[in-house]
Structures are given as structure tokens and as C-alpha cells.
């Protein structure tokens, strides 16, 4: 029987679309719940049904999509989608509510309900990791400025402040001094106000902040000791506490400090996989999740710094035995033996598409270019103006790029011209890419794109 999968995503990141492509290829029937219009999932040919994600009534929209598709598993692709699944599970378990199969479905998708409050809170997750004897930086939950001052009385700067309910590197601040940490504390604990919500709505088309503002939510905050080293992460798929497959990477380049990676290097790191196995087992997790680390300079110790309780940028990559999360999940859902498939690349450098191109990472040329060949409409969508931005947001971005270009021309006369020419050639090459993945031209296209 063909397994039905429902992808849920409140953001407009490309990761959900990449998951949909690979899940469809292995034989899943994929449906999606996402913001409409402008979501990359709408450009994926393999998505059978799409449902609009309501801003003010997201749990109702989620329930309706589940009832319409009757999926075997729900895969959340961003943190708010995880939160909505937790809310729906709590609602379905209330006395007098005819939840039917919804609560068992969510438990099958995410794992034990006892894990839900833990994976949603940075402090509780790291406390559990320390109980599992994993390497974790010194961490404290801070509710007041006095808590923060008490921390700095014992710990030396720099320190890292992180707010719950944030993602993509947002809500993370590195403070070089105690005074700077106090200012960051005030910034991060300030409730979302209406002007801030309207800015996100008008510039980013992110309507979901209206619900956050309406509920007057104040984020919890932690402070961590700063680990000097290089960022790394792993992604795994698991089932009832057992890791089925996973990939470990070190970050080569990123959009910004503490921001999403654009180019990564595949590594074999037993510490990172062990961390994922112990957390999955302790919490009885199912589905995808990711862990972020800092690899300490000198000792090469992998310090766990946070968890992403949903799919990440790595999850769609099929890199062979033990590193094929899509194939492992399909085998688990169908009860069929795991099919051995060749890795999509033997290059240990991976350039995420389109992030590495938009940031023009110097490492793109030497990396495997993770382009969704055969999905021309999706490629055009991802290479165009950011689908996360409104028309006003795009005008602002264009004016900002022009200012950057003017500054670049002052010091480097041809810098902007060359960059624009490269981007034009890249786009033309991609638009002429073969759509038949079996044509044998895909790998050559990836190599010749830049």
C-alpha cells in the first residue's frame, strides 16, 4: 500500500519542497499544508493535494488537512508546525473530545507525548542531554536581569543568549560583555508588539506572528557559555526511539554568524550520532529531527547547543547506506526491506540550493550542487525574488542590493558587473536543464552550472 504523507510548513523555506520531491520519488503519496500563495511546495509536481494554512486558526486547518488526507505520518517542516501538532494532540486527548485517530497519528509521527514539552524548550532539552552524559555547554534559564547578573558573577564572557520560539539563527545573541548581555536580555524578552507584527506581515508575508501577538506570549530565555570552535549539525530519522539513518556535517559557510548554513562538509562524527541516538531513545522520538553542535577548538569535542524537533536542510539528501533518511523512512512505513540506493554524490562538500547561490559562497564551485533537477518551476521560484518577501519587502531588498553594489563599485569597479553576469548565466543554465532524471545529464549539469 502506498504510504500517505502530509507535510506541514508555516514558513516558506525550500526544505519542505525538497522533502516532497524525494518522498514522492520513493513511492509516497505526498500532500501539503502550507501558506498560500507563494510557497515552494506549490511548484512541486509530486505533491498531490495542497491545503491553505490558516493564520489565526492553524490547528483547525491542520485537523482538516489530516481528515482529508488520512496520512500514515505527518512531517512538520518548521518549529511552528511542530507546535501546532502538539496543540492538536492536547486538544484531541481532552475528555469529551472525539479525537478519533488524530492523537495516535501524531504520536506515530513525533513519538511519545512525554517528549513534547521537552523538545520545545531549549533548557529542558539540554538538561536531559546532560543527564545522558552528553557534552553540553554550561547553561542556565534566566527569567530576570538578576539571574543574568548572577550568571556573569560566576562565568566569564562571552556568553550566548537564546530565546525559545525562534529559529534560523534568529533569537540568538552573542554577548562580548555582561553589559551587552543585559541589553540583549531586554531585547529578547520584550513581547512581540503590533508594529513588529505588522512589519513581518507587510515585509515578510508572515501572518503567523499575529497569533503570537494575540496570545501575548513571552519567550523563555537561556544563557550559555560560549564554545570557541566551528559549527556542526546532524539530522536523523527515527522510529519509536531508534535512529534509522542520519547525516553529520560541519558548516563551511553560512548566511550570517549563527545563521543557516549555505555550504556544509559531510563528516563521520560518532559523538554527534551518539547524541542523536541517546536523545531519541530517552524521549521515544519518531520522525525527523536535527541537533546543532559546536566542535571545540583543540579538543574536537562536540558540544550540543540545541535541537530542531523537525526536518532540516539535510533530510532530503540520499547519501547511501546509513545516510539515506528518505529510504529508511519509506522502508519503515511500508514494512519493506530497505532498498540500497547509490549516493547522489561522492563529494563530501554540499552546497544548499538556492542559499549558496544567493550568498555567492566561494565554495560552490568545488561542492556538489544540490539543485532539484527535473523541477524547473521550483528552480525558477527559488532563484527568483524570495518567496518569503512581499512586494514591499522585495523593493526594499532591491534598493539594499543597489546600495551594496554602489559601495562595491567604489572599491572594486567590476565586482557588481561580474556577479550579475554569473547569476544571469546560472539562471539560463538551470532553465535549460534536462527534466528527465534518467537522461544521464543531471550530474554533468550540476558540474557545469557555475
Residue 202: which CATH number? 3.30.1490.20
Instruction: Give the DSSP H or E segment for 327.
Output: helix 325-334
Domain ends where: 191, 225, 259?
A: 225
Q: What is the pLDDT of residue 397?
A: 53
**Quick check: pTM over 0.75?**
yes
Report the alpha-carbon distance of residue 241 to residue 244 in Å, rounded.
9
In terms of domains, do 359 and 233 share one?
Answer: yes
In terms of domains, do 66 and 166 share one?
Answer: no
β-bridge mates for residue 74, sequence order: 6
Contact 152, 178 (CB under 8 A): yes
Domain ends where: 201, 225, 249?
A: 225
Q: How many domains does the chain have?
A: 4
In terms of domains, do 177 and 79 share one?
Answer: no
Residue 245, in any domain of the structure: yes
Contact 167, 122 (CB under 8 A): no
The CATH code of the domain that includes 23 is: 3.40.50.20
- Give 190's DSSP letter: S
Report the alpha-carbon distance of residue 159 to residue 220 in Å, rounded.
17
Contact 260, 169 (CB under 8 A): yes
In terms of domains, do 105 and 181 share one?
Answer: no
In terms of domains, do 22 and 68 share one?
Answer: yes
Residue 246: how many other CB atoms lie within 10 Å: 26
In terms of domains, do 221 and 233 share one?
Answer: no
β-bridge mates for residue 370, sequence order: 352
Residue 117, in any domain of the structure: no
In terms of domains, do 283 and 233 share one?
Answer: yes
Give me 305's grid cell. 547547543
Direct distance between the N- and C-terminal alpha carbons of the chain, in angstroms, rounded to an integer: 42
Domain ends where: 328, 352, 370?
A: 370
Contact 367, 418 (CB under 8 A): no
Residue 131, in any domain of the structure: no
| φ, ψ of residue 132 in degrees (nearest 5) | -85, 10
Length of the chain: 450
In terms of domains, do 330 and 439 share one?
Answer: no
Of the candidates 60, 225, 73, the residue with the CA atom closest to the CA atom of residue 139: 225
In terms of domains, do 364 and 383 share one?
Answer: no
Residue 311, in any domain of the structure: yes
Contact 38, 206 (CB under 8 A): no
Q: What is the pLDDT of residue 429?
A: 56
Residue 17, in any domain of the structure: yes
Q: What is the pLDDT of residue 403?
A: 56
In terms of domains, do 147 and 102 share one?
Answer: no
Residue 268 belongs to domain spanning = 229-370
Cβ neighbours of residue 83 closer than 8 Å, sequence gap 6 or more: 120
The CATH code of the domain that includes 325 is: 3.30.470.20
Residue 29, in any domain of the structure: yes
Residue 133, in any domain of the structure: no
Largest distance between two CA atoms of the chain: 71
Report the alpha-carbon distance of residue 255 to residue 274 in Å, rounded.
28
Report the alpha-carbon distance of residue 303 to residue 39 in Å, rounded.
35
pLDDT of the chain, 450 residues: tens digit per residue? 899 999 999 988 899 999 999 999 999 999 999 998 889 999 999 999 999 998 888 999 999 999 999 999 999 999 999 999 999 999 998 887 766 899 999 999 999 999 999 998 999 999 999 999 999 999 999 999 999 999 999 998 899 999 887 766 677 899 999 999 999 888 888 766 556 655 666 556 666 555 665 566 677 899 999 999 999 999 999 999 999 999 999 999 988 777 789 999 999 999 999 999 999 999 999 999 999 999 999 999 999 999 999 999 999 999 999 999 999 999 999 999 998 899 999 999 999 999 888 776 778 889 999 999 999 999 998 987 655 555 555 555 556 555 544 444 444 333 333 334 444 545 555 545 444 333 344 444 343 344
**Parallel, antiparallel, or unpaired for β 261-267 and 242-254?**
antiparallel
In terms of domains, do 349 and 254 share one?
Answer: yes
In terms of domains, do 179 and 273 share one?
Answer: no
Q: What is the pLDDT of residue 435?
A: 40
Report the alpha-carbon distance of residue 129 to residue 86 in Å, rounded.
21
Residue 289, in any domain of the structure: yes
Residue 279: HSE in the Cβ half-sphere, 13 Å Cα cutoff:
35
Chain centre to alpha carbon of residue 140:
25
Contact 309, 79 (CB under 8 A): yes
Amino acid at each position: 500500500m502506498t504510504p500517505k504523507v502530509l507535510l506541514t510548513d508555516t514558513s516558506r523555506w525550500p526544505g519542505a519542497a525538497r522533502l516532497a520531491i524525494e518522498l514522492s520519488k520513493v513511492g509516497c503519496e505526498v500532500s501539503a499544508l502550507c501558506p498560500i500563495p507563494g510557497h515552494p511546495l506549490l511548484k512541486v509536481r509530486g505533491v498531490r493535494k495542497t491545503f491553505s494554512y490558516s493564520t489565526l486558526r492553524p490547528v483547525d486547518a491542520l485537523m482538516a488537512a489530516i481528515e482529508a488526507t488520512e496520512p500514515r505520518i505527518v512531517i512538520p517542516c518548521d518549529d511552528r508546525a511542530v507546535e501546532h501538532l502538539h496543540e492538536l494532540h492536547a486538544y484531541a486527548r481532552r475528555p469529551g473530545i472525539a479525537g478519533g485517530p488524530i492523537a495516535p497519528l501524531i504520536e506515530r509521527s513525533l513519538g511519545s507525548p512525554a517528549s513534547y514539552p521537552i523538545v520545545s524548550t531549549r533548557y529542558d532539552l539540554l538538561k536531559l542531554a546532560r543527564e545522558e552524559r552528553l557534552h553540553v555547554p554550561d547553561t542556565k534559564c534566566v527569567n530576570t536581569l538578576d539571574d543574568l547578573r548572577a550568571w556573569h558573577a560566576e562565568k566569564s564572557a562571552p556568553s550566548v543568549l537564546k530565546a525559545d520560539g525562534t529559529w534560523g539563527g534568529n533569537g540568538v545573541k552573542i554577548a562580548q560583555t555582561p553589559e551587552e548581555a543585559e541589553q540583549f536580555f531586554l531585547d529578547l524578552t520584550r513581547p512581540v508588539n503590533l508594529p513588529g507584527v505588522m512589519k513581518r506581515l507587510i515585509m515578510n508575508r508572515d501572518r503567523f506572528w499575529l497569533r503570537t501577538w494575540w496570545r501575548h506570549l513571552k519567550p523563555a530565555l537561556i544563557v550559555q557559555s560560549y564554545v570557541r570552535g566551528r559549527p556542526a549539525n546532524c539530522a536523523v530519522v527515527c522510529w519509536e526511539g531508534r535512529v534509522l539513518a542520519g547525516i553529520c556535517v560541519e558548516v563551511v559557510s553560512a548566511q550570517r554568524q549563527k545563521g543557516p548554513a549555505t555550504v556544509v562538509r559531510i563528516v563521520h562524527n560518532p559523538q554527534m550520532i551518539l547524541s542523536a541516538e541517546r536523545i531519541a531513545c530517552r524521549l521515544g522520538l519518531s520522525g525527523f529531527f536535527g541537533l546543532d553542535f559546536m566542535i571545540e577548538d583543540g579538543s574536537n569535542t562536540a558540544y550540543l547547543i540545541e535541537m530542531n524537533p523537525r526536518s532540516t536542510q539535510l533530510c532530503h539528501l540520499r547519501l547511501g547506506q546509513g545516510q539515506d533518511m528518505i529510504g529508511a523512512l519509506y522502508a519503515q512505513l511500508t514494512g519493506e526491506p530497505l532498498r540500497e540506493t547509490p549516493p547522489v554524490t561522492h563529494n563530501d562538500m554540499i552546497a544548499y540550493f538556492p542559499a549558496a547561490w544567493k550568498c555567492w559562497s566561494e565554495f560552490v564551485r568545488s561542492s556538489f550542487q544540490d539543485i532539484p533537477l527535473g523541477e524547473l518551476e521550483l528552480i525558477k521560484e527559488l532563484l527568483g525574488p524570495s518567496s518569503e518577501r512581499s512586494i514591499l519587502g522585495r523593493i526594499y531588498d532591491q534598493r539594499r542590493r543597489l546600495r551594496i553594489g554602489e559601495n562595491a563599485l567604489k572599491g572594486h569597479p567590476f565586482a557588481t558587473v561580474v556577479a550579475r553576469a554569473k547569476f544571469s548565466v546560472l539562471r539560463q543554465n538551470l532553465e535549460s536543464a534536462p527534466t528527465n532524471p534518467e537522461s544521464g545529464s543531471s550530474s554533468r549539469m550540476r558540474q557545469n552550472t557555475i
